[in-house]
Amino acid sequence: MKYFLLLLFCLSLKTVFAQDENRHAAAQTPENIEMTAARRFEGRLTRLREALDKNDVSSMTACYANLLGDIRSAIEYYETNVPDSPKIASLQTIFAKFENFTFDPMKPGELKPYLVHFDDFLVLLKEK
């Protein structure tokens, strides 16, 4: 019987913690999501620059792939949640500049001119 009471107590705790997590998830406003995405993008861009300076091929490749993924995610976010946003066209224009570029980690110098486009994208993400 005492194990049954312990089990009921544990189950009740689970629902209390689940409700607390739901409140935290509901507190995520679009502004918070956008700020988080901008900070993550900025951090990854900084790591890409550091990898370029150190000539670290694996970090360059990972950072570049993550940044492109962030660009795709941001475009998808705006198309889904803010379809009438004027940012969408600008974001897509920047992404189009990367579509025809194939990053070769053995030639990191070819990526340096494209860092400007990442900076432009970051500015758009930080805009309100």
Spell out the alpha helix ranges (H) of 27-56: 30-54
**Residue 82 DSSP class:** -
Residue 47 CB partners (closer than 8 Å, separation 6+): 59, 63
Higher-pLDDT residue of 33, 61? 61
Confidence of residue 44 (pLDDT cuts 50, 70, 90): very high
Report the C-alpha gap between 103 and 93 in whole angstroms.
Answer: 18
HSE-up of residue 22 (Cα within 13 Å, Cβ side): 6
pLDDT in tens, 56-115: 999 999 999 999 999 999 999 989 988 888 889 999 999 999 888 888 888 888 888 889
49 pLDDT higher than 70 = yes
Report the C-alpha gap between 128 and 120 in whole angstroms.
Answer: 15
Higher-pLDDT residue of 58, 24? 58
**Residue 56 DSSP class:** -
